[in-house]
Amino acid sequence: MSIRLEYDDYKSWLVELKDRIKTSQIKAALSVNSELINLYWYIGRRITEIQKHSKYGDGIILQLAADLKKEFPDTGGFSPSNLKYCKQFYQFWQQDPISQLVVDLSENSQILVNKIPWGHNVLIIQKIKDNKEALFYVQQTIANNWSRSVLQIQIESNLSARQGKAINNFSITLPEPQSDLANQLLKDPYNFNFLTLEKDVQELELERQIVKNITQFLLELGKGFAYMGRQYLLKVGSKEFKLDLLFYHVRLKCYIVIDLKAKEFEPEHIGKLNFYLSAIDAQLKTNDDGPTIGMILCKNKDNLIVEFALRDVNKPIGVSEFTFSELPQRIQNAMPTVEELEKEMFKDEF
């Protein structure tokens, strides 16, 4: 008798679900993604509730997939694997609730998770265990309009643990809210794994490789950076100076100077960059621009030394480390030295 009642309950819900899917398909013409996410949330919630209050196990998912495929043969998204994702999606956001997300999506269409595609949602709940960290990637996906492949790269590079972690003096050198935004722009460390370099790479080679891979570099920097040039020439008095990399940030509305250091951070690096920022403020900055920001990207650093070096500096500067993929030792050993290259180039002249 109990099994029969459960079967009748399932049949009743199946009729209701079919009607809901048909309604969702009509609404989809107006709002494809949010309506789809609402539907998947509902399916996940109902599967969870039915399994909790009945003897059904995962068999209900297989039965539901077969019934929905029969009713909607030309509609995707009702495979057993996707129905399991619906259940996982609902349960993920129900554990350790977050007020912005844990509501019935069928009653509130403004929830963050239905502003990103289903594939993005599935990727996040597969890769991330913590709700707050997952929320970070949902918000960043919305803000930056990431594709799923870009989202995966950012998750694998552990962006949530690096964002806003650089040591800087922005709180005392920039007005709010620019200081908060600038702080969130910087990461520590920066991930240059799109480069493959020798262990003892020199700064000019690092710079050259970054420019060669400028698209990936801009992705790592984040949204809003516009590339202005490499070895950007400044004339101060009778001398010429060259900036490693110059950018303009469209949200902060300011120039950003990046100084590359293929070695450990030293306090004197701050003085040199501070000079560059003063020159940019005097020569390029307009009344509509914010204060020029400096970024030192170095191979490694002692955080306490950086903090002391930034004390009493009145220009906004941040310091971060960077990581990259080293060439395998066997390849490094096989590469000719500068002397060997020169000898080969000029051997016919002797």
Q: What is the pLDDT of residues 206-226, one digit of tens each?
A: 999 999 999 999 999 998 999
Options 3.40.50.10490, 3.30.300.30, 3.40.1350.10, 1.10.287.1080; CATH for 163-333 is 3.40.1350.10
Q: Is the pLDDT of residue 234 over 60?
A: yes
Nearest Cα to 35, choosing from 139, 127, 105?
Answer: 105
Number of other CB atoms surrounding residue 218 within 10 Å: 16
**Helix or strand holding residue 51 (H, E):** helix 32-52
Which stretches of the chain are assigned E, i.e. beta strand? 167-168, 190-197, 225-236, 239-249, 254-264, 293-300, 317-326
Helices 118-127 and 32-52, interaxial angle, to 10°?
50
Q: Which DSSP letter does residue 290 get? A: -
How far apart CA 23 and CA 99 sit, in angstroms, is 28
How far apart CA 39 and CA 83 sit, in angstroms, is 11
By CB atoms closer than 10 A (0-12, 13-18, 19+), residue 238 is exposed
Average pLDDT, the chain: 84
Q: With the CA atoms of 136, 113, 107 and 97 taken in that order, what torsion angle do they form, in degrees rounded to the nearest 10?
A: -40
How far apart CA 122 and CA 268 sit, in angstroms, is 47
Domain spans of the chain, in order of start:
2-156, 163-333
Query: Can you tell me whether residue 253 is helix, strand or coil?
Result: coil
C-alpha distance across the termini of the chain, in Å: 102
Q: Is the pLDDT of residue 239 over 70?
A: yes
| Total count of residues recorded for the chain | 350
Single pTM value for the model: 0.75
pLDDT digits (tens, 9 = 90+) for 64-100: 999 998 888 888 888 999 999 999 999 998 876 565 5
Q: Is the pLDDT of residue 167 over 50?
A: yes
